[in-house]
């Protein structure tokens, strides 16, 4: 049985628990991995240091597989037989440094002490891998509790998948993912993780893996990437926008009933009601739609491109950049609104990302720039508003910069959570706190206009009727009682 000293390799799985996948809003089709240095391993009772200048140190309680023998090319059925035992693990990470890793997680999750393991190993032969439980406590409060009964990828599958190309050696460790509840800790917090099998004879347990959080005192050097934060990182570190304190700005509930009421009135009517409230500069102008007959109603999510500069594109254009994060983060009824500065000399979205938005349930895409693969994007059911097609990739003119902040698009200011309404008449940006009364007044306005149109069709003149004077309003009230 290997000890828990210094494994040759520590391999971590990104997402494996359905509860975590639901929390993140994305479920992987296949497992994906990253490496953690063996120097990140620490024992129970150790202290983890949050780097100076960083805010978002997050814990992730996990079950660690300890490999018992050399494995290469094993089957899914034989994968579990290569595991000597399981223990508790904590996959700590600093979200302030994720931008520097380009998906490798080296700096954000590879720091010394960032992989506590232990304190004991449960022998694999004595347990059923589908009957384990993982729990995490912060300062004595239970914050994570889940089982291995419905993992996305079984332990045997993980071992088999990795062994297709990588020789797993005795003592190597595989971190098997974290359930929902992972969140941020601060200096002074104590985090405990335990793995057990409560339904099995003897209820074997690893005991509690204890880690205390301390504050770093040495600033990170200017010769390396420093901390950088945005609301996406805060939401993912805390586990949700609500836990991060962002919910009031981003989670306005667009119910099916409210959408139906919005769709019952025209954008021209909504525009006139906005103007009555002193809001004239709320239209996104100069765009055309791939689905002009489809009504667009949704909540704004935002993405900003800045003008291309070669060094900035090298640093921010590749990997899991802001553009990809924005599309991956879309949900039902979201409208991704893109600031492209009216630049039409390149595409800001293509067929793959547009398809991703449609699969996620998004309501539409609005960009004041160009669209790549325009024919394929137009073939999708998702309405996309744009300034025209262009074959070039975004690096010709743009750097994907940041998400979910106030932007400018087509001459209008757009904030995350604003209501976007679009049709053949154009696009409107509606502050969410106005929408209920705005729609109520718009419905009444269209009733009045139906009456006025009926009267004009019957031969009445418009003087005094449009708008209605007191006499016509009295006739209108009588007409309403007959409808």
Two tokens, residue 286: 């100069």
Is 44 within 8 Å of 192 (Cβ atoms)? no
Q: Cα–Cα distance between 347 and 336 in angstroms, integer?
A: 15
Q: Which long-range contacts (CB under 8 A, 24 or more apart) does 349-358 make?
A: 349/377, 349/384, 350/376, 350/377, 350/393, 351/376, 351/377, 351/380, 353/323, 353/324, 353/327, 354/380, 354/382, 354/384, 355/380, 356/327, 356/328, 356/330, 357/327, 357/330, 357/382, 358/382
Is 214 within 8 Å of 185 (Cβ atoms)? no
Binding-site residues from annotation for substrate: 350-353, 372
Binding-site residues from annotation for Mg(2+): 373
Binding-site residues from annotation: 350-353, 372-373
DSSP states along 176-199? ----TT--EE-TT-EEEEEEE-TT
- Cα dihedral 347, 352, 354, 355, rounded to 10, equals 160
Two tokens, residue 350: 């293509």
Is 385 within 8 Å of 357 (Cβ atoms)? no
Is 358 within 8 Å of 380 (Cβ atoms)? yes
């Amino acid at each position: 049985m290997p000890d828990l000293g210094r494994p040759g390799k520590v391999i971590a799985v990104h997402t494996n628990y359905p509860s975590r996948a639901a929390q993140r809003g994305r479920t992987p089709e296949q497992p994906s991995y990253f490496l953690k240095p063996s120097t990140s391993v620490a024992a129970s009772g150790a202290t983890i240091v949050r780097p100076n200048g960083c805010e978002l140190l997050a814990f992730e309680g996990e079950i660690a597989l300890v490999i018992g023998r050399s494995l290469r090319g094993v089957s899914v059925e034989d994968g579990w037989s290569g595991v000597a035992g399981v223990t508790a693990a904590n996959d700590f990470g600093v979200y302030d440094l994720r931008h520097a890793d380009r998906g490798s997680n080296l700096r954000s999750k590879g720091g010394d002490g960032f992989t506590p393991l232990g304190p004991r190993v449960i022998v694999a032969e004595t347990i059923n891998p589908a009957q384990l439980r993982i729990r995490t406590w912060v300062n004595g409060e239970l914050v994570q509790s889940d089982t291995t009964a419905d993992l996305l990828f079984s332990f045997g599958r993980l071992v088999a998948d990795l062994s297709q190309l990588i020789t797993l050696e005795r003592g190597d460790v595989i971190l098997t993912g974290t359930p929902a509840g992972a969140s941020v800790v601060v200096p002074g917090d104590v985090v405990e993780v335990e793995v057990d099998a409560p339904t099995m004879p003897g209820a074997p347990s690893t005991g509690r893996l204890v880690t205390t959080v301390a504050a770093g005192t040495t600033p990170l050097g200017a010769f390396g990437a420093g901390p950088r934060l945005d609301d996406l990182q805060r939401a993912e570190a805390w586990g949700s926008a609500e836990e991060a304190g962002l919910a009031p700005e981003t989670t306005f509930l667009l119910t099916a009933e409210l959408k139906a009421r919005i769709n019952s009135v025209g954008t021209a009517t909504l525009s006139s009601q906005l103007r009555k409230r002193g809001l004239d500069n709320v239209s996104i102008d100069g765009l055309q739609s791939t689905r002009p007959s489809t009504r667009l109603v949704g909540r704004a999510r935002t993405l900003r491109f800045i003008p291309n500069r070669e060094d900035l594109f090298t640093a921010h254009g590749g990997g899991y950049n802001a553009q990809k994060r924005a599309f991956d983060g879309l949900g039902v009824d979201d409208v991704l609104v893109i600031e492209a500065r009216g630049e039409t000399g390149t595409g800001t979205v293509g067929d793959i990302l547009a398809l991703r938005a449609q699969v996620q349930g998004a309501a539409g895409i609005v960009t004041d720039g160009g669209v790549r693969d325009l024919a394929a994007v137009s073939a999708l059911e998702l309405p996309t508003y744009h300034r025209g097609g262009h074959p070039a990739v975004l690096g010709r003119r743009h750097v994907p910069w940041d998400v979910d902040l106030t932007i400018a698009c087509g001459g209008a200011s757009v904030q995350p959570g604003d209501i976007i309404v679009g049709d053949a008449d154009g696009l409107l940006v509606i502050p969410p706190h106005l929408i209920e009364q705005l729609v109520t007044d718009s419905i009444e306005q269209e009733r009045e206009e139906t009456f006025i149109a009926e009267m004009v069709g019957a031969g009445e003149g418009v003087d005094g009727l449009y708008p209605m004077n007191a006499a016509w309003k009295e006739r209108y009230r009588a007409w309403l009682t007959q409808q």
